[in-house]
Amino acid sequence: MKIMLVGDVVGRTGRKAFDRYTKELRQKYNVDMVIVNGENSAGGKGISRKSMDELLRGGADVITSGNHIWDNREVYGFIDQEPYLVRPANYPQGAPGKGWCIYPFRSANVAVINLSGRAFMPDMDCPFQKIEDILSEIGNEADIFVLDFHAETTSEKMAMGFYLDGRVQAVVGTHTHIQTSDARILPKGTGYITDLGMVGPWHSVLGVEPEIIIKKFTTCMPARFNVAEGPAVYSAVVMDIDTATKKTVNIERIFITE
Ligand SMILES: [Fe+2]
Ligand SMILES: [Fe+2]
């Protein structure tokens, strides 16, 4: 089966670009399932009912997230009801929402797991211990396992990729909003990329108007972040997973700039 994994969608510019390209790419690559990170889909901060519905209408099957998931308070009202919206599983117990879900696709159940890194990130439970708990909890309930590892450093993400190589079918990094060029199949058959990148304004600093971030760096003063407008970037990968051997046989990087 073919799964397309799409990077963090940022604001309206990102949502429009997601809508513009996802259906086209689904057809072009014969994609069976789309997983997208929606943590910045509402005005760059968090996810709202409206931004989530736009992603679902635009072709998303499962929405993952990260440290920005709580930024729009609307999410508290629906995160527990949405079957295909996940947040990092290694929040301590008591946080709303869930860290993984199972998406049924024809004869295969696809487990989509979301975890946060700990290097330069909020304090979280250990993602390496947490994934062990999750894998044994899911057990035979799923046939294919996909992880969105939302983390800052390349090293933590690569370590997770090798840690899970051969035990899950896909490990993709998110959070930095910059796509890395290292899409690969790890030695034991796990498809991997350090960061998917983002879907959002191309002439921006990680989605935000450059002037604001330049001012922040040059004055060290706090500033209100506005999502930039204009042409977009669309960043994703398509993985081809052999459901019989449980190995990823191909990974293709998608990077569209307008
Ligand atoms: Fe993000
Ligand atoms: Fe993030």
pLDDT digits (tens, 9 = 90+) for 203-237: 999 999 999 999 999 999 998 999 999 999 999 99
* Distance of CA 66 from the midpoint of ligand 1 (Å): 7
CATH code: domain of residue 189: 3.60.21.10
- Domain extent at residue 125: 2-204+230-257
Q: What is the mean pLDDT of residues 89-108?
A: 95
pLDDT the model gives residue 237: 98
Token pair, residue 142, equals 């799923």
Ligand closest to Cα of 151 equals 2
Residue 219: inside a domain: no
Residue 142: inside a domain: yes
* Distance of CA 216 from the midpoint of ligand 1 (Å): 19
pLDDT digits (tens, 9 = 90+) for 177-204: 999 999 999 999 999 999 999 999 999 9
Residue 215: inside a domain: no
By the CB criterion, residues less than 5 angstroms from ion ligand 1 are 8, 39-40
List residues with catalytic annotation.
68
pLDDT the model gives residue 216: 95
- In this predicted structure, the answer to whether residue 34 has a pLDDT above a threshold of 90 is yes
* Distance of CA 73 from the midpoint of ligand 2 (Å): 16
Residue 165: inside a domain: yes
pLDDT digits (tens, 9 = 90+) for 101-148: 999 998 899 999 999 999 999 999 999 999 999 999 999 999 999 999
pLDDT the model gives residue 210: 97
Share of the chain above pLDDT 90, in %: 98
Query: Is 0.95 topped by the overall pTM?
Result: yes
pLDDT the model gives residue 107: 80
pLDDT the model gives residue 15: 98
Ligand closest to Cα of 37 equals 1
Residue 150: inside a domain: yes
Q: What is the mean pLDDT of residues 83-96?
A: 97
Residue 198: inside a domain: yes
| Domains identified in the chain, total number | 1
135 phi and psi angles, rounded to 5 deg: -60, -40
Residue 224: inside a domain: no
* Distance of CA 136 from the midpoint of ligand 1 (Å): 29
149 neighbors 86 (Cβ within 8 angstroms): no
Mean pLDDT, all residues of the chain = 97
Residue 209: inside a domain: no
